[in-house]
């Protein structure tokens, strides 16, 4: 497999809108500008989906309960999310990206990787392309974006976060290893809160700490992620930009060797599926609005029952409540059940999170072009 040579590195840009939902609200309603703003949640209940920079100064963050947010910032304004508007802006954003490359991998409504190695628009440098995109976004959408420019996805993504808001950071080949050395371990791709805790218990806190471990030590403790961590801690990441692989739904199902007939057995089976699916939802850091229960009976008749909620399902408790409600409405069943499944769809990624697939750690192909950074 050909890897990027130092003379021929890939050019990746990670573009990330600044406080996306909140910025769109402030753009569309001048009375909200310059004010601490939370999108989603309320002073009494719910969870903040996004916070404006004015609110972040008070420590208000996404995924924080509205009650806590209001306590931290008594003047905090709450507005309802308008996902249709965010989706429309996201489509405009995609159109801007498409002027510069076909290789666009959306991570969420407001975030994407672009492989601009081929420089199809003839801009001349990757940094120039990033600046052109940011200028287009400012002029046409009246919003700001930050960008990371680098030779791989991992570093480009971390870099885009470094000079936020409205900033750019370029990390050239040769600078990547130093760049990731001081990075907290939890910033590494695939390291969720649980893995970060396990790392911490092993004395691994930074990129440099990961790099100090042998591959076999990493394999012993982090299994499938070991190889990736080993490379990433050296500034290497060979995942290629995969166009348009945004997920539409997340789900899971189980077929039973014996048909289930009793309420209690069905409830227990459902709890197991909730476990499986919720773990996937968490891993993908995804919010979704529609929960669908699928039931296949012993005679192979299949039915689905769905419920959509607004704001999206944010906690396991919400997901459990809706899922159980869908099942309870079908009880008692008149015939045995051979399959149960749950799906979360109408997905929204919370700000700063990714709809991504850990299976996406793949070797990238050879690079033909050589574009300046
Ligand atoms: Mg963003």
pLDDT tens across the length of the chain (373 residues) = 334 555 578 999 999 999 999 999 999 999 999 999 999 988 888 889 899 999 999 999 988 999 999 999 999 999 999 988 998 999 999 999 999 999 999 988 999 999 999 999 999 999 999 999 999 999 999 999 999 999 999 999 999 999 999 999 999 999 999 999 999 999 998 898 889 999 999 999 999 999 999 999 999 999 989 999 999 999 999 999 988 655 678 899 988 889 999 999 999 999 999 998 998 888 777 788 899 999 999 998 989 999 998 888 988 999 999 999 999 999 999 999 999 999 998 887 553 344 343 333 334 444 444 688 8
Give residue for tokens 């995969």.
242
Q: Could you tell me the fold of the domain covering 8-164?
A: Alpha-Beta Plaits (3.30.70)
pLDDT of residue 347: 80
In the structure encoding, which two tokens stand for residue 297, read together?
A: 């009976």
How far, rounded to the nearest angstrom, does the alpha carbon of residue 313 sit from its chain's CA centroid?
15
Q: What is the pTM of this model?
A: 0.68
Q: Return the pLDDT at 246.
A: 53
145 with 19: CB under 8 angstroms? no
345 Cα to the center of ligand 1, angstroms: 21
H or E element in which residue 25 lies: helix 20-28
pLDDT at 365: 41
| pLDDT in the model for residue 43 | 86
Ligand 1 centroid vs 267 CA: distance in angstroms? 39
State the distance from the centre of ligand 1 to the C-alpha of 185, rounded, in angstroms: 21
Q: Please tell me the distance between residue 86's alpha carbon and the centre of ligand 1 in angstroms.
A: 12
Give the per-residue pLDDT at 5.
54
Residues 6+ apart with CB under 8 A from 58: 36, 72, 73, 76
What are the extents of the domains in the chain? 8-164, 179-232, 249-348
For residue 286, what pLDDT is reported? 75
Give me the DSSP letters along 55-113: HHTTT--TT-BHHHHHHH-TT-EEE---HHHHHHHHHHHHHHHHTT-S-EEEEETTEEE
- How much distance in Å is there from the Cα of 228 to the middle of ligand 1? 25
Residue 63, pLDDT score:
86
User: What is the predicted pLDDT for the residue at 366?
Assistant: 41
| Ligand 1 mean position, distance from CA 98 (Å) | 19
* Under 8 Å between Cβ of 328 and 253: no
The pLDDT value given to residue 358:
36
Confirm whether residue 110 is marked as ligand binding.
Answer: yes
Distance from C-alpha of 185 to C-alpha of 209, rounded to nearest angstrom: 8
Compute and round to an integer the Cα radius of gyration of the chain. Answer: 23
Q: What is the structure's pLDDT at 7? A: 58
Cα torsion angle, 169, 238, 242, 284, sign = negative
Q: Do domains 8-164 and 179-232 have the same CATH topology?
A: no
Catalogue the active-site residues.
111
| Residue range 179-232 in CATH 1.10.150.20 | yes
* pLDDT of 244: 63
Q: What is the dihedral of CA 210, 216, 217, 219, to 10 degrees?
A: 80
CATH top class, domain 249-348:
alpha beta
């Amino acid at each position: 497999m050909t890897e990027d040579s130092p003379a021929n590195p890939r050019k990746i840009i990670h573009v990330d809108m600044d406080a996306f939902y909140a910025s769109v609200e402030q753009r569309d309603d001048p009375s909200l500008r310059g004010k601490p703003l939370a999108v989603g949640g309320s002073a009494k209940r719910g969870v903040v989906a996004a916070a404006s920079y004015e609110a972040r100064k008070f420590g208000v963050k996404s995924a924080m309960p509205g009650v806590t947010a209001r306590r931290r910032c008594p003047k905090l304004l709450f507005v309802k999310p308008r996902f249709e508007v965010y989706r429309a802006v996201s489509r405009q954003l995609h159109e801007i990206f498409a002027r510069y490359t076909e290789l666009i991998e959306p991570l969420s409504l407001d975030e994407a990787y672009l492989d601009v190695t081929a420089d199809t628009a003839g801009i001349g440098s990757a940094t120039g392309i990033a600046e052109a995109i940011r200028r287009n976004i400012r002029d046409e959408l009246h919003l700001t974006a930050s960008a990371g420019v680098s030779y791989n996805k991992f570093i480009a993504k971390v870099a885009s976060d470094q000079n936020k808001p409205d900033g750019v950071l370029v990390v050239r080949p040769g600078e990547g290893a130093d760049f990731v050395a001081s990075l907290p371990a939890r910033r590494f791709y695939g390291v969720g809160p649980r893995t970060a805790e396990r790392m911490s218990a092993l004395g691994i806190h930074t990129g440099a700490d990961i790099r100090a471990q042998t591959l076999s030590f990493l394999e012993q403790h982090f299994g499938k992620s070991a190889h990736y961590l080993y490379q990433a801690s050296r500034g290497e990441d060979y995942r290629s930009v995969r166009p348009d692989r945004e997920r539409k739904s997340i789900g899971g199902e189980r077929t039973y060797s014996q048909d289930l007939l009793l309420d209690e057995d069905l409830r227990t089976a459902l709890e197991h599926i909730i476990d499986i699916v919720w773990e996937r939802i968490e891993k993908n850091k995804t919010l979704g609005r529609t929960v669908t229960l699928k039931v296949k009976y012993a005679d192979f008749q299949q039915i689905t029952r769905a419920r959509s909620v607004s704001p999206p399902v944010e906690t396991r408790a919400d997901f459990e409540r809706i899922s159980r409600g869908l099942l309870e409405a079908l009880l008692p069943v008149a015939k045995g059940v051979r399959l149960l499944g749950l799906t979360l769809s109408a997905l929204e990624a919370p700000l700063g999170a990714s709809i991504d697939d850990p299976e996406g750690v793949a070797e990238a192909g050879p690079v033909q072009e050589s574009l300046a950074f």
